């Protein structure tokens, strides 16, 4: 009988999906297939008249349930008070950002916070507006261009036609806020000469943002991360200028 009942429902739906809310038409279909017995027809009819409207009301309630919106964030170039190189004071330097690596837990759309030494939390409703590594690469390029007053900043996979004066490789080891909302940045980086690849400097830079206090928002966290990434660019810029005789 269950197989015949399913057949009846399919027949009824195939005629007109909107008519499934009509118990009388459904009963008529069951009669056509010879499924219902006279003695149980009344019971089933009453049950369907109660059940079908209840399902319609329930589906309507579920459809209007509020949904938490997902918010998206981006890092942007820093507006420095003044460049490291005054405009037009020296011949433009050329820099290549050859590599930028992130740990696997940062290669995700969710924004990560560290709630303890060994625990990470990924926010499903606070996400990056694109690939974080590519976003950081573009921003680093723009920050260095502003700081060094040069348009000759290339980044992978776009290699310059001739070797750059300087070549940067960086591996981000940490880039997230802690349980207090304070952002941290740890980067292992290497600066080399573009012509022959000779290493000029290799360091690990650790930076932390200001304590946001008891109440903070994701907007403030991302702004703090943006500031840290800008400070890292300034460190690289000063190192490049200090090694200017390596050109």
Tell me, what CATH number does 163's domain have? 3.40.50.10610
CA-to-CA distance for 76 and 109, rounded, in angstroms?
Answer: 17
One domain, residues 9 and 131: no
Range of the domain at 204: 72-246
CA-to-CA distance for 214 and 101, rounded, in angstroms?
Answer: 32
Better-scored residue on pLDDT, 65 or 207: 207
Nearest to 133 by CA among 175, 91, 81, 192: 175
pTM of the model: 0.72
**pLDDT at site 147:** 95
| pLDDT interval class at 1 (50, 70, 90) | very low
| 8-55 pLDDT per residue, tens | 444 444 444 444 455 566 556 555 555 445 545 556 556 556 655 554
Mean per-residue pLDDT of the chain: 82
CA distances (Å), origin 10, targets 26, 55, 67, 74, 237:
10, 18, 33, 50, 71
One domain, residues 151 and 34: no
Better-scored residue on pLDDT, 86 or 82: 82
**pLDDT at site 65:** 63
The encoded tokens of residue 183 equal: 């952002």
For tokens 């806020």, what's the residue? 177
Provide mean pLDDT across the span 133-143.
Answer: 97
One domain, residues 52 and 148: no
One domain, residues 169 and 134: yes
191, with CB counted inside 10 A (0-12, 13-18, 19+), is: buried
One domain, residues 59 and 91: no
One domain, residues 104 and 158: yes
**pLDDT at site 6:** 45
**pLDDT at site 148:** 94
**pLDDT at site 28:** 62
Number of domains in the chain: 2
Residue 118 pLDDT > 60:
yes
């Amino acid at each position: 009988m269950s197989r015949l009942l399913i057949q009846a429902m399919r027949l009824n739906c195939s005629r007109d999906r909107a008519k499934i809310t009509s118990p009388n038409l459904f009963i008529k279909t069951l009669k056509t297939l010879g499924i219902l017995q006279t003695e149980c027809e009344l019971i089933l009819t009453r049950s369907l008249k109660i059940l079908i409207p209840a399902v319609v009301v329930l589906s309507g309630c579920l459809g209007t349930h509020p949904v938490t919106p997902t918010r998206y964030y981006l890092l942007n170039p820093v507006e420095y008070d003044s460049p490291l190189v005054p405009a037009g004071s020296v011949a433009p330097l050329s820099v290549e950002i050859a590599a930028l690596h992130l740990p696997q837990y940062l290669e995700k759309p969710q924004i990560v916070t560290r709630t303890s030494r060994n625990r990470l939390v990924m926010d499903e409703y606070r996400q990056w507006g694109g690939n974080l590594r590519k976003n950081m690469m573009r921003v680093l390029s723009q920050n260095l261009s502003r700081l060094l007053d040069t348009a000759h900043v290339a980044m992978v996979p776009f290699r310059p036609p001739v070797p750059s004066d300087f070549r940067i490789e960086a591996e981000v080891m940490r880039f997230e806020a802690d349980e207090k909302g304070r952002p941290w940045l740890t980067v292992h980086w290497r600066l080399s000469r573009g012509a022959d690849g000779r290493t000029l400097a290799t360091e690990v830079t650790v930076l932390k943002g200001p304590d946001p206090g008891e109440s903070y928002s994701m907007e403030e966290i991302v702004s703090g991360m943006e500031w840290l990434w800008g400070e890292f660019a300034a460190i690289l810029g000063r190192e490049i200028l200090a090694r200017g005789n390596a050109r």
